[in-house]
């Protein structure tokens, strides 16, 4: 794979998110169907969110720019540029407090594994 500049892609996505009625845009440079690990750059315009959803496995959010709030149940964790947030193994949501870009890294659970 050729070198890929995450910040350049994030800036382009943020422009797209600002212009979108959904207030978001995303690009997955690593992973996809049939892979266990994915990395997705997500841009959210201020005030928009990723609605509550399940966590399909281990995941982290690296805040590339802006400010976000990760919420799960009654708990909320704030993050700003450079912060790494560990996503809980529970339903959760992400709110952009300002225009924001993140790098979501997730590893899907393997089904059928026993200890």
**How large is the average pLDDT for residues 95-113?**
87
Number of domains in the chain: 1
Domain extent at residue 35? 6-107
Strand order in the sheet with 67-72: 49-53, 92-96, 67-72, 75-80
Domain membership flag for residue 14 = yes
State residue 55's pLDDT score.
80
C-alpha span between 114 and 23 (Å, rounded): 41
CATH number at residue 12: 2.60.120.10
Domain membership flag for residue 76 = yes
Domain membership flag for residue 72 = yes
In this predicted structure, the answer to whether residue 113 has a pLDDT above a threshold of 90 is no
Domain membership flag for residue 1 = no
In this predicted structure, the answer to whether residue 2 has a pLDDT above a threshold of 80 is no
Domain membership flag for residue 112 = no
**How large is the average pLDDT for residues 6-13?**
96
pLDDT band at 115 (very low <50, low <70, confident <90, very high): very low
State residue 112's pLDDT score.
53
Domain membership flag for residue 31 = yes
What's the pLDDT tens digit per position in 38-73? 999 999 999 999 999 888 789 999 999 999 999 999
State residue 1's pLDDT score.
64
Q: What angle do CA 43, 107, 115 make, to 5 degrees?
A: 160
Domain membership flag for residue 84 = yes
What's the pLDDT tens digit per position in 76-92? 999 999 999 999 989 99
In this predicted structure, the answer to whether residue 111 has a pLDDT above a threshold of 70 is no
């Amino acid at each position: 794979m050729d070198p890929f500049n995450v910040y350049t892609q994030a800036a382009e996505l943020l422009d797209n998110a600002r212009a979108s009625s959904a207030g978001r845009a995303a690009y997955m440079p690593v992973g996809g169907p049939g892979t266990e690990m994915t990395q997705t750059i997500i841009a959210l315009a201020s005030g928009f969110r990723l609605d509550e959803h399940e966590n399909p496995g281990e995941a982290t959010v690296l805040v590339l720019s802006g400010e976000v709030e990760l919420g799960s149940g009654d708990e909320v964790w704030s993050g700003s540029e450079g912060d790494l947030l560990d996503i809980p193994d529970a339903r959760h949501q992400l709110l952009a407090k300002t225009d924001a870009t993140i790098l979501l890294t997730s590893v899907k659970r393997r089904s059928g594994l026993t200890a």
